């Protein structure tokens, strides 16, 4: 008999998507929702494109410029969302992106 799963990351993504689709799983407020299967488009392309470009840059001479551009774009977006109470998911994604860039700098 399989032991019960206790952590989200132990559950296959397909099961989560199916549960959400059937209404059996309701993500809590502010939780990052699961994009539809096969959806490879960026949710926030305005700042995710520069972030991706920084993450995929292998030239050490170009990397600082890519990181700086991504940081500026992300910080500008954060400033525009200051008063938006409905942007909790994007706020978290922006904070995660900045943390990722800090790691990339090291």
Burial class (CB in 10 A: 0-12, 13-18, 19+), 54: buried
**Angstrom distance (rounded) from CA 11 to CA 34:** 13
pLDDT in tens, 21-69: 777 766 655 454 555 555 567 888 899 999 999 999 999 999 999 999 9
Rounded percentage of the chain residues whose pLDDT exceeds 70: 69
Parse the chain into domains and list their residue ranges. Answer: 45-105
The angle that helices 63-80 and 88-105 make with each other, rounded to 10 degrees, is 160
**Angstrom distance (rounded) from CA 29 to CA 47:** 23
Q: What is the pLDDT of residue 86?
A: 78
Q: What is the pLDDT of residue 43?
A: 86
Per-residue DSSP letter, 57: -
Q: What is the pLDDT of residue 83?
A: 81
pTM listed for this prediction: 0.61
With a CB cutoff of 8 Å and minimum separation 6, the contacts of 36 are 17
Higher pLDDT pick, 71 / 5: 71
Distance of CA 23 to the CA centre of its chain: 23
**Angstrom distance (rounded) from CA 11 to CA 4:** 10
Mean pLDDT of the chain, nearest integer: 79
């Amino acid at each position: 008999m399989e032991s019960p799963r206790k952590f989200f990351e132990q559950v296959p993504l397909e099961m989560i998507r199916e549960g959400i689709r059937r209404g059996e799983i309701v993500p809590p407020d502010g939780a990052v929702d699961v994009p539809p299967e096969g959806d490879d488009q960026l949710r926030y392309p305005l700042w995710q494109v520069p972030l991706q470009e920084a993450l995929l840059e292998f030239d050490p001479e170009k990397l600082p410029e890519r990181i700086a551009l991504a940081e500026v774009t992300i910080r500008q977006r954060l400033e525009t969302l200051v008063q938006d109470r409905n942007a909790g998911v994007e706020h978290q994604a922006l904070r995660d992106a900045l943390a990722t860039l800090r790691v990339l700098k090291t």
